[in-house]
């Protein structure tokens, strides 16, 4: 795909007083030749059933729904739509498996989890391609981030399985029982790994519901689990929409709910389990502040801005969707940012040249476009890159709004797309107040040359995860979670284990 791009015009005065054009020329160079990832090694069934009790079984009511490739708008496969009766069947299978699984020697449990991780590595190319086909994300991200990180979480928690007495000394850690887990559509396999790996490593059994728009890698994980010989019923993977998730949340024989998704649904879940003995972990929305101080390494910071907001088409709960730039460097940062945006390639997710893939669904694209209209109507300065986009599929060019104020909805509400709201600030105290002026508290980023400024600002930001001179870096050993309307509880690291244990 050839990308037509325009220059960002920028002139400066030379030493002899004449004006010199220093803008980058994006319309005079060359374009990349297509570099599509092969799909010959990928196997996708025409229809997928529910994975319950170690077997793939038909849904009781016989209903199915289509999963769509957002880059082509074509049907990929049919997937079973689980009813409340199917949920009950899965819970019974998990409850039956809980006793034998929790009493299995911890080292043996760890071996099963380790085996799943190794098999994920062996099938990494296939998993990466399916993730990009089903979700729209660029193959470079699926291949280099999602799949390796998912396998790494299974490896990490496999190692902890027989070391709980060291992880929680002088406690008597016991598994909770049956966990109901509901994951979003933006990182399907990675979110499944975040939830399944710690839960089963410590002796719980699980029912996991994948998102209705991206169920395929979860079902591929079910095939891996079956092939790994995990005892029947330890992991049950079902598919469906909101009604299926509600049936999991409201089921009386579930001991723990783990949910990643929107704040509005998180509030519904919290109300539903109030007054019950169910434990919960909720990882919800975010509106992260990415802060650039005037002593920051600006080229590095611009790459961090791009990675922070345009990674995975902006479908990231911790996306750096609010950019705060100190006034002394604002003009330079914006110029560099616009230049860098012009180089981004939007297109076929399976092309290894692609930087930004397809928006996950027609509905999500409509939401993004709604907020773009809101931003324009509120008076913010609108800018999009000039790249070509395919005629078919769901696409959004990388977008930013300048001269945004705190009262603008695009600065307060989660958009979940490649849209950046830019504000400036003069002092550190000002940016801390602005950054914290949000109902969310999931993540933040800071860019500066001074360690003292990092410690000062990070200690005052109300966010669960804060990156310094980087952004969107994840590790299985590092806890992830937020405050305020971004939820509660942590996933990853030892806190991720603790969320699935009773500590006596």
Q: Looking at the annotation, which residues are catalytic?
A: 283, 317
User: Is residue 365 within 8 Å of 376, Cβ to Cβ?
Assistant: no
User: Is residue 468 within 8 Å of 458, Cβ to Cβ?
Assistant: yes
The bridge status of strand 205-210 relative to strand 178-182 is parallel
- 426 by Cβ neighbours in 10 Å (0-12 / 13-18 / 19+) ranks as exposed
Q: How many whole angstroms from its chain centre is CA 468?
A: 20
DSSP symbols for 234-264: SEEEEE--HHHHHHHHH-TT--EEEEES-HH
Non-local (6+) Cβ contacts of 350 within 8 A are 36, 37, 39, 71, 129, 132, 133, 139
Give me the helices (H) in 14-123, please: 84-103, 106-122
Q: What tokens were used for 190?
A: 């990675």
Q: What angle do CA 247, 256, 478 make, to 5 degrees?
A: 125
């Amino acid at each position: 795909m050839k990308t037509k791009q325009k220059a960002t015009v920028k002139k400066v005065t030379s030493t002899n007083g004449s004006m010199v054009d220093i803008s980058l020329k994006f319309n005079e160079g060359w374009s990349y030749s297509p570099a599509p990832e092969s799909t010959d090694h990928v196997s996708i069934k025409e229809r997928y059933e529910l994975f319950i009790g170690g077997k793939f079984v038909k849904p009781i009511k016989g209903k199915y729904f289509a999963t769509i490739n957002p880059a082509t708008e074509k049907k990929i496969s049919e997937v079973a739509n689980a009813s409340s009766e199917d949920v009950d069947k899965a819970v019974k299978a998990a409850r039956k498996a809980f006793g034998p699984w929790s009493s299995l020697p911890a080292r043996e449990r760890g071996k099963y989890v380790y085996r799943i991780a190794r098999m994920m590595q062996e099938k990494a190319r296939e998993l990466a391609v399916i993730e990009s086909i089903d979700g729209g994300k660029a193959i470079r991200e699926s291949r280099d981030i999602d799949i390796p990180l998912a396998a790494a979480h299974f490896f990490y928690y496999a190692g902890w399985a027989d070391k709980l007495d060291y992880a929680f000394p002088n406690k008597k850690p016991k598994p909770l029982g049956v966990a109901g887990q509901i994951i979003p559509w933006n990182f399907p396999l990675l979110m499944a790994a975040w939830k399944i790996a710690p839960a089963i490593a410590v002796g719980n059994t699980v029912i996991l519901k994948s998102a209705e728009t991206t169920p395929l890698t979860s079902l591929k994980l079910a095939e891996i689990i079956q092939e790994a010989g995990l005892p029947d019923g330890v992991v049950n993977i079902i598919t469906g929409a909101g009604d299926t998730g509600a049936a999991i949340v409201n089921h009386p024989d579930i001991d723990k709910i783990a949910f990643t998704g929107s704040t509005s649904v998180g509030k519904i879940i919290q109300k539903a389990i109030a007054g019950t003995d169910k434990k919960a972990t909720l990882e919800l929305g975010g509106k992260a502040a990415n802060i650039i101080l005037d002593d920051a390494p600006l080229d590095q910071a611009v790459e961090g801005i791009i990675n922070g907001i345009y990674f995975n088409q902006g479908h990231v709960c911790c996306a750096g969707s609010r950019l705060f730039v100190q006034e002394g460097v604002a003009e330079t940062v914006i110029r560099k940012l616009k230049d860098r945006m012009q180089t981004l390639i939007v297109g076929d997710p399976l092309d290894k040249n692609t930087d930004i893939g397809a928006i996950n669904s027609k509905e999500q694209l409509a939401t993004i476009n709604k907020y773009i209209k809101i931003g324009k109507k509120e008076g913010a300065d609108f800018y999009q890159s000039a790249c070509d986009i395919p005629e078919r599929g769901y696409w959004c060019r990388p977008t930013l709004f300048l001269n945004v104020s705190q009262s603008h909805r695009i600065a307060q509400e989660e958009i979940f797309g490649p849209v950046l709201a830019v504000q400036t600030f003069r002092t550190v105290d000002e940016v801390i107040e602005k950054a914290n002026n949000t109902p969310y508290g999931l993540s933040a980023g800071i860019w500066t040359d001074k360690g003292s400024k990092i410690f000062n600002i990070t200690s005052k930001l109300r966010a669960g995860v804060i990156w310094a001179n980087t952004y969107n870096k994840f590790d299985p050993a590092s806890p992830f979670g937020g405050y305020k309307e971004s939820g509660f509880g942590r996933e990853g690291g030892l806190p991720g284990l603790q969320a699935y244990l009773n500590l006596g």
